Structure 1
Amino acid sequence: MEDMHEKQQAMPWWKEAIGYQIYPKSFKDSNGDGIGDLQGIRKNLRYLKELGIDFVWLNPVYASPNVDNGYDISDYQDINPEFGTMEDMLKLIDEAHDLGIKIIMDLVINHTSDQHPWFKEALQGKDNPYHDYYIWADGNDKPNQWESIFGGSVWEYVPAIDQQYLHVFAKEQPDLNWENPNMRQDIYTMIRWWLDLGIDGFRIDAISHIKKSPWHTKPKKDWAYSPFTNVKGIGVYLRELSKVFKEYDIVTVGEASGVTAEQAPEWVGKDGYFNMIFEFEHISLWKREKNDTMDVVALKKALGRWQKRLDYGQGWNALYMENHDVPRSVSVFGNDQPVYREKAATALATMYLLLQGTPFIYQGQEIGMTNMTFRSLDELDDVTAKNQIEELLQMEDNEDRKLEILELMSSISRDNSRTPMQWNTSENAGFTTGKPWMVVNPNYTTINVAEQTQQPTSILSYYKKLIQLRKTQNIFVSGHYHDYLPKHPQVYIYERFLEEDRMLVVVNLTKEPAEINLPTAISGQSWSLVMGNHPIGSHAADPLSPFKQQLKEKQKKLALEPYEALIYHVN
């Protein structure tokens, strides 16, 4: 028992933690200018504490021209005035720490803004020491036909110096040259500066793109971005970067497009580059058409692959179903029709929050915020949406075409996750007293924090109970993973086990009733219900009330209601 206690004591804090992602621009406006800010976050730290989270990941709040909503940084060591001041940032860190909440920041080091002093210096010509901080080709003839992730070529010509620079994202986001050791040292100096101020770690943006292939490299079939995604040799830079991180007791989460589950131990294992990574395999499966249905088998396979590959000390997962770059999970993985929304939201929460890894909750996810039905193309803000709209309208520009594009964007746009947080039923959902920078989803009158806080059967209340269950049951942190019935088209059923202790998670991920034949490994034991999401809703009884109290020994079948989630403990 003493050895086990010592092992638990030695466990890194981030393995037992729950993260909460804040998109500052849309979280809470404190001064009426229509833009969320640091003061708005400070005033709602108590809400986050009551939810049960342990750390906050802030999307970029650095100085920026906002071409890509802060991911184009013009000064790494200053705060964008629309969010507040450096003093506000330091107060946020201190006040969060006083409540036991850690703060991690977005670290954007694949590229800068074209307004960054380094790039302005680089434009002066080849003799400038900052010129080689970026990636250049001579002349106006493109060295290859690589496509930018945001559309168009990766190359942008600068007539004044007869050269072109490379940008994986928008042309206003020139890529940094990681082959330049002086550039790398300046980045490391900046990283240490922030960590010495007291932040608790980083989510590292687009980090799998920092290494580029030789220019003659052609993209792989059906993958246009392969020449600059997880390219061979990237580990040289990542190992050097990780040495800086390991000087501090922090958490690091890499955004790792193109990294497979088989490669994951190299990235997040004992000697890995980061503590965990955001993988893209499962999140890419969301349905793109309103009447489409989720491929449950594919989702289970993707999540299960990562669970098994990183189990038994091989690494650590970052668990998520939403972020600022994808539509709302209840709309694309679940069902946002009023009759199903609450059950679908809690089913998805049960499914992913109890897997092995550190869970992340995106703002508004905990109340079941949904995709937005945009009313005009002018309501869309995201740079990728604007580029897509422009390309689509070039094919055919008429009113019918605009309506088709609007319907498409209401389904796929990143703006779905960036509509303002829905706090209450007052004007603009309580987000601002001014004109919000982005349109508020009109369903805030029925989906908001204030009302759900008062309802013991709300989505918010369910999240709080689910978080507390995870925190009080070490098996969900330290336990291993095993799934059952991988080809069942509706139900995800998996077990978390630690020595003789066993917990069973059963979730119907569809709007149709389901029935499963219980595997012998389950039916050979008796199980007691710990928690479930049926019944749930504003008029339902307490969701903790037993709906199916026991799975009896030798029980062969289990019937599930639409989007029903059940959590059992072995007797």
Structure 2
Amino acid sequence: MHIVFIFLCSLLLSWIQPAPLAAQDLPWWKDASGPAYQVLVYSFADSDGNGYGDLKGLTQALDYLNDGNPATYSDLNISAIWLSPVNPASSYHGYDVKDYKAIDPKLGTMEDFDTLIREAHKRGIKIIMDMVFNHTSREHPWFLEAMKSASSPYVNYYRTKQNGVSYGASGMGRFYKYTRPDGSVFEYFSAFWEGMPDLNLDNTDVVNELKDILAFWLNRGVDGFRFDAAKHAFDPNEMPSGTPTLALNKTFWNDLRRSARRVKPDVYFIGEVLTENLAEVTAYTGVFDGLFDFPSARQVIDAVRRMSGTGFIQAYQNIYSQYSRISAFQSAPLLSNHDQDRYISSLLTSMSLDAVKGLQVEAGDTEVVRSAKAFALTKAKMAASIYQTLPGLPYIYYGEELGMTGRRYKNDDVARRDAFKWNDAGTLPTVTWLQKSNKLEPGQNSLTASAESQMKDPGSLLRHYQSLAALRQNSSALRQGTFAAPSWPGFNSGYLLAWLRESDTQRVLVLHNLDSLPFVAKVPEGVRFVALWNSQQGFLDEKSRQSLQSGVELRLEPAQSAVYEVLNP
């Protein structure tokens, strides 16, 4: 019987076709004018002075992300906001949901949420909700009912252990026992910990509940969903040994997407498959519109750490070839997110610098340390320049553009989720509850320049991110173009990262010089290069764009990046 089950699952998967998109030239995520931005609402902006970030605070801060005026370049030109969970939950982080159709009162009201959507849409910003469908909280009404009685229909809403079944062992998590007051035992599975019981996604009643939840939010104006723990929907450890869990996962997610598209034809599904293993990630390209590009993040981080491009192009060409098999798919490049040490902390650690306080110098720093911190800022700009010029819709983790630090501390992730630093005084809208939690490292982000001060500094990391946003806004090749390595002589050195991005209307050459020496080459025959952007000057207006004819020397200084439009002579 088990062999028949496996065969039927495989056959079912072969019948499943990707959920169709609405008829349009390109789905919005394939031509988004700016990057996406991950926000932890509780850590971002406080509107009322209670120390806790809220939806009103985020709404009031929207102009920092995107002021809605494409003619200005003093914002980040954010095209989509990924809201980490805003539902009532048992934990501060929101990933153990108690009610999928409500807003956490600490974050605001449903009216606040509707206002956020309305104001975001005015600025051309899409809203992406985090949906945690792998598991619920133990305090969710479904689970509370399941704990009351073995005869409750809600018992089958969760993955329970069956007698005589041999379960897989290649996944994550285990079964936990709960003894009811009547003595009956409720043994349920969790991929994470006992407070997050896994839903039984074989149960059509559960799946229909989830579809209804998506429809509820889509009808309120939500534009897409980020799905947590996508590869654990059917985890090997919760299923009988030998079950084709990948096939079940893909069937489940595709069915969910098809249902959501009946409500909103251009709804966006992005999945979290948290691994740097390319094969594991790309297994899901046919059932999600985007996946976080952890494999490329590793390549970018390692290249900048070593300041060497050796092997990068070959590795990325392999990654790109896998992602580009599905025309509507758009990868999501990033440096880090809320489940990882912040990129700046990792970078500073790799340079043997203080990974806690931040990038600014302080009075006691030696000249060696001052020089190293300046180089760390240069490397942070380089990392941003690389990942934001790769194919895909890049995701910025809030505060990354300021160089915020944060790493796992005291066996907890809170320090990775520190309050956004709006100003040096720590006044509104700065969030303060984390500073009182005793879960931040002493001195964390004390040497991170605030958004207010970085806006005034042309050489700041924030201004660099803003310049990259302006570049993307004005380059169809970067938004939607293909990726290829140039074949011109001199553009393939081990310390130079060079690639061509090409759309129907534009072709650009992207250069990142990781060397300690200038890169010098002649403009190839048959083309001319027009400067669009570089990491020293930022995005260039038309009057400032230098045109380099064939045979003219092109020079790129050490640890600098540049983007040129490639035109006929």
TM-score if structure 2 supplies the norm length? 0.77
Match of 2:55 in 1: 38
Identical counterparts, % of pairs: 28
Residues 230-281 of structure 1: CA deviation (Å, up to 9, x unaligned): 623322212211111212132221112469656877744xxx3221112432
Match of 1:108 in 2: 132
Match of 1:357 in 2: 392
Match of 2:346 in 1: 332
Match of 2:152 in 1: 128
Of residues 14, 26, 45, the one that matches 2:29 is 14
Match of 2:175 in 1: 155
Residues 304-350 of structure 1: CA deviation (Å, up to 9, x unaligned): 33323333763322222222122222343586652123322221222
Q: Which moved more, 1:82-91 or 1:296-305?
A: 296-305
Say which SS state the counterpart of residue 137 (structure 1) adopts: coil
Within 2, Cα distance between the matches of 1:477 and 1:275? 15
Match of 2:320 in 1: 307
Say which SS state the counterpart of residue 65 (structure 1) adopts: coil
Change (3 A) 1:167 1:286: farther
- Decide whether the 8 Å contact of 1:137 with 1:164 is kept in 2: yes
Match of 2:295 in 1: 281
- Decide whether the 8 Å contact of 1:35 with 1:436 is kept in 2: no
Match of 1:460 in 2: 462
Residues 491-537 of structure 1: CA deviation (Å, up to 9, x unaligned): 3221112468431111135xx5156686x99576442332211379x
Offset of residue 93 of structure 1 = 1.5
Unmatched runs of 5 consecutive residues or more in structure 1: 1-6, 219-226, 387-413, 537-541
Match of 2:421 in 1: 422
What is the correspondence of 1:433-472 to structure 2 with a 5 Å cutoff? 436-437=436-437, 439=440, 442-444=444-446, 446-472=448-474
State the number of aligned residues. 501
Q: Which moved more, 1:276-285 or 1:117-126?
A: 276-285
- Decide whether the 8 Å contact of 1:136 with 1:164 is kept in 2: yes
Of residues 27, 34, 38, the one that matches 2:44 is 27
What amino acid maps onto 1:111 in structure 2? H
Offset of residue 81 of structure 1 = 1.9
Offset of residue 568 of structure 1 = 1.7
- Decide whether the 8 Å contact of 1:424 with 1:444 is kept in 2: no
Within 1, Cα distance between the matches of 2:80 and 2:46? 21
What amino acid maps onto 1:78 in structure 2? A
What amino acid maps onto 2:452 in structure 1? A
Change (3 A) 1:482 1:431: same
Unmatched runs of 5 consecutive residues or more in structure 2: 1-21, 67-74, 352-358, 360-371
What amino acid maps onto 2:99 in structure 1? D
Residues 172-228 of structure 1: CA deviation (Å, up to 9, x unaligned): 11111111111100111111111111111111111121123375649xxxxxxxx99
| Residue 319 (structure 1) aligned with residue 333 (structure 2) | yes
Alpha carbon RMSD of aligned pairs, Å?
A: 3.8
Change (3 A) 1:338 1:491: same
Of residues 558, 562, 569, the one that matches 1:561 is 558
Residues 381-402 of structure 1: CA deviation (Å, up to 9, x unaligned): xxxx34xxxxxxxxxxxxxxxx
- Decide whether the 8 Å contact of 1:527 with 1:550 is kept in 2: yes
Change (3 A) 1:246 1:138: closer
Of residues 95, 106, 119, the one that matches 1:82 is 106
- Decide whether the 8 Å contact of 1:525 with 1:554 is kept in 2: no
- Decide whether the 8 Å contact of 1:524 with 1:553 is kept in 2: yes
Say which SS state the counterpart of residue 76 (structure 1) adopts: coil
Within 1, Cα distance between the matches of 2:458 and 2:41? 28
Within 1, Cα distance between the matches of 2:132 and 2:216? 15
Of residues 237, 249, 256, the one that matches 1:241 is 256
Change (3 A) 1:498 1:280: closer
Match of 1:497 in 2: 502
Match of 1:231 in 2: 246
Change (3 A) 1:545 1:427: farther
Offset of residue 363 of structure 1 = 0.8
Within 2, Cα distance between the matches of 1:259 and 1:242? 25
| Residue 255 (structure 1) aligned with residue 256 (structure 2) | no
Say which SS state the counterpart of residue 358 (structure 1) adopts: coil
Offset of residue 433 of structure 1 = 6.0
Of residues 478, 481, 487, the one that matches 2:480 is 478
Match of 1:531 in 2: 533
Change (3 A) 1:145 1:287: farther
Match of 1:507 in 2: 512
- Decide whether the 8 Å contact of 1:341 with 1:368 is kept in 2: no
Q: Which moved more, 1:434-443 or 1:204-213?
A: 434-443
- Decide whether the 8 Å contact of 1:532 with 1:547 is kept in 2: no
Q: Which moved more, 1:526-535 or 1:486-495?
A: 486-495
